[in-house]
Structure 1
Amino acid sequence: MVFWANIIIHFCIAFGVVFGGSMLSGVAAVLTLQSPTEKMLTIAENIKIWAMVAAVGGTIDPIRYIESHVAEGHLNPALKQIVLIVFAFVGAQMGTSLIQMICKGGNQP
């Protein structure tokens, strides 16, 4: 049960970083007389990797965790960490996709 809670938390953190950062960049763009849609799209793409880093802890420790467990032959903890990273990526990607739908409209590619 705790693992599923961690998956949801990692997903939501990554999604929130991308979505919130992009929305606030749109507000900042309006205040600085720039195009909010262009700024939001740019920030959504650029912040995606940092959203994943924030979701998994902000350091290289998750990668070390995977490496040490694989080296010892314990695959289950390493796979769990990989799943958390994948869900953080999915959250960041969905945040980016939502910003793209908001800025470009829902029916454009």
Structure 2
Amino acid sequence: MAFWAYLLRCADGSYYAGHTDDLDKRIGEQVAGVCGGYTATRLPVELVGSQACATRIEALTFERRIKGWSRAKKEALIKGNWEEVSRLARNRSDKKD
């Protein structure tokens, strides 16, 4: 069984990260607004990225990691710009010192 971490762009420009074991079904629910919560009040939503994962724990871990990222880092991920994702990660870790 495959699991997925996914990223949605909401109508207000915010991002929502989640995970699921049925990506098509879950995105359909998010788009229809039947999930309630954060995305239901920010419709329409659009899938902007997803990552297949081997286990639910891996998908949940990736979801939580993305939720902690800055907007700029999420946008670099959406564009597939891994150099920028890495640069932003380094900049953030530099600020913690």
TM-score tier by shorter-chain length is under 0.3
Structure 1 or 2: larger helix share? 1
Flag the structure with larger Rg.
Answer: 1
Pick 1 or 2: higher relative contact order, CA cutoff 8 A, min separation 6.
1
Query: What TM-score does the superposition give when structure 1 sets the normalisation length?
Result: 0.21
